[in-house]
Structure 1
């Protein structure tokens, strides 16, 4: 029997001095959704997007929970189910998220928001604002709602996202594109922003007017509006607010309640004093979710305008601060998304959406806390109300749509898309017109003996510095 050859190599097993065979790395498999939403997106774009989406889901879920907690007693006392208002709020949230999904995952939504369809929807809502005076439902001295049977629509809430989009486009075209003259810019702003504001003032709805005006002027300031003009507008606006309070007795009453709610604790200061008692009852860590006492038909509008008082009573000071922190994180991530926007329109649209949510949050929270007069504005994503929930989610959808566009295109990618490859014989590009880069230059002059025979186009060199032959492909240098 022949002895095995000592020099033979066992191809099946590695020898003691041999390296283990390298396994071929397999690329991770991603789902189609992962490829579209995550793969290839820079961290600076994906991180604020995930933070914003997480905070949004947390706030909406928390809002539905608190609406249930604040409204269960009132609903039961009215002969309705304990979950009546919570179920309706859930339906509004699902409908709002359906619109958000349409904006985020449907690519033409970006063109829709930038173009004429947004103006068509604005026109429909403006007509609805005008129809409020004839078909509207009066409540507490104001006509702001149209009753559709299954729920009431508040057009002044729904038109806010459209005003943000159209103002962002006009500011972008005037300050950055320079495609609008000053006269036309002022006329368009007066039409698309001034006309709805006039109708909202006549309802009357001073709170929504202040929120929209502050948002639009903040967007204009970020676009390049002179600080002197901004200061002048702020001073003029404060004067108009003081005049509006002076001419309306109920507004003056709210101002006096803010200054001293205990002057009439069983009359005009009733809600304000009960809100203070709710925060005091909550203490540091709260009484626990569902354990509020003031929601037992003591505090009116406990699930609507004054839901923050119930949050303060059930979650306490610490829980309220955590709630504020989540909302602040939502706004911060929205501004981070705006920084990565592909163009000025996207930046202004995201910033405007964040500002209007922030201003409305402050108007409600500071009103409940007694820092400013109460205006009756809802707490975004938290207070009960279909129009408020849908409008707030539409604003959030604008921010997420801008984030999706940021992942698709960057400023440098847009610049590269305009480049074209030209040869020496091409004097004019096929799609960009005449080249402004001058004559193309070779790395070596044709007269240089090292250059070899003259070739058209690019010359290929191997990794060692030598020139690849006509029949020899260049080496792939890693």
Structure 2
């Protein structure tokens, strides 16, 4: 009894310390569930890159740990940039948007000039270390968020609002499409439409844009040899997995071998017997084979957690700009994850999207971590601003401007200091 009573204050003290630390983090604007999900995926990604990349590194004429070490460097760089962006008020990013857009155009044009062909496409510069299309996705979200926020009064005017936005999206997507990178171009177009909707765009115009994009996309798929082949492989694979593309066949083989619990970390065989680009585009197949269905569900669950927390932060943002930034970046990251995982199990046509925070590659990892830095910036800016009481469903209520202009009814806040 004496031993129990002596231990009880210690346990209470530890609990109180943990509660105080949690409250301190919350006051600082640190979204703990989001940060924990990011850290878990990054660390798990490093483990899987180490497992999946050593043969690929040797094929490149490098030491076995080459890609793993590079990934660690990118994690350090991305984390530094994320922390930096999380500390600078996101309202100050506006001055950098035009230079960032011009630099992105320059990089995309450089890709087309240099023609550094890798895996059948011209997508990289600096000897394959930088993929500008990844930067183009993020810059599109950031630039459009500021542009839509500044053009709210004319947002639904075709000549002053809709048409300029279509030109911007079309130019970004067009330069990416010329590489060719159909999936990245489609991602940019879809993100543009989502941001227009979240900013309060008229539904009739949104439907018109969707029809136009679908028509244009169908033409691209029919004209492009790559797009046509991928679509036919996908449709054939739905009827019979044996008729799917070689890439998807190997990934499905990994899924079957993984079963419920997997074969164990480092013990996958498909990464040695024909699974293309195992450390990058196909890393989810390696995850399923080595950790099984349970490991795959854990990864899916973490991305769902990221979606929830990102939209929660967006909904509680102090202004429409913060709402657009947080929602746009969160939806983009979740889209990338869904596309990558869906392709590996033949639920979606083949695309070259990386699995955020996990796939080997500096461009994807760095831009994703930078995006999380901005999302956490919005969360930090929320401190000291108390939102109105809302229903539970308000976590996805990101749209709907009121008649007086700039702030939606669901997004109006009261500052206790006023």
Normalised to the residue count of structure 2, the TM-score between the two structures is: 0.82
| Alpha carbons 1:305, 1:378 under 8 Å: kept | yes
In terms of fraction of residues, the more helix-rich structure is: 2
2:373 pairs, out of 385, 394, 397, with: 397
Residue 53 of structure 1 aligns with which residue? 35
2:92 pairs, out of 87, 112, 115, with: 112
Unaligned runs of 5+ in 1: 1-27, 420-478
| Alpha carbons 1:365, 1:379 under 8 Å: kept | yes
Of residues 278-287 and 137-146 in structure 1, the stretch that sits farther from structure 2 once superposed is 137-146
Residue 119 of structure 2 aligns with which residue? 140
Shift of 1:363: 1.6
1:158 pairs, out of 130, 135, 147, with: 135
| Alpha carbons 2:336, 2:356 under 8 Å: kept | yes
Shift of 1:99: 0.4
Secondary structure of 2:124's match?
strand
1:127 pairs, out of 106, 109, 117, with: 106
d(CA) in 2 for partners of 1:279, 1:104: 38
Structure with larger RCO (C-alpha < 8 A, sep 6+): 2
Shift of 1:321: 0.8
2:268 pairs, out of 273, 288, 292, with: 292
Residue 330 of structure 1 aligns with which residue? 306
d(CA) in 1 for partners of 2:205, 2:301: 33
With over 3 angstroms needed to count, the CA separation of the structure-2 counterparts of 1:181 and 1:243, relative to structure 1, is closer
d(CA) in 2 for partners of 1:262, 1:295: 24
1:38 pairs, out of 25, 30, 48, with: 25
| Alpha carbons 2:257, 2:289 under 8 Å: kept | yes
What whole-Å deviation, never above 9, does each CA across 1:177-208 have from its counterpart, x for those lacking one? x3778344346524543322221122221101
Of residues 274-283 and 123-132 in structure 1, the stretch that sits farther from structure 2 once superposed is 123-132
Shift of 1:69: 0.6
CA-atom RMSD in angstroms = 2.9
With over 3 angstroms needed to count, the CA separation of the structure-2 counterparts of 1:111 and 1:210, relative to structure 1, is same
d(CA) in 2 for partners of 1:247, 1:335: 37
Residue 348 of structure 2 aligns with which residue? 372
With over 3 angstroms needed to count, the CA separation of the structure-2 counterparts of 1:301 and 1:274, relative to structure 1, is same
| Alpha carbons 1:92, 1:390 under 8 Å: kept | yes
Residue 321 of structure 1 aligns with which residue? 297
Shift of 1:132: 1.5
The higher radius of gyration belongs to 1
Shift of 1:319: 1.2
Q: How does 1:71-82 map to 2 (within 5 A)?
A: 71-76=53-58, 78-82=60-64
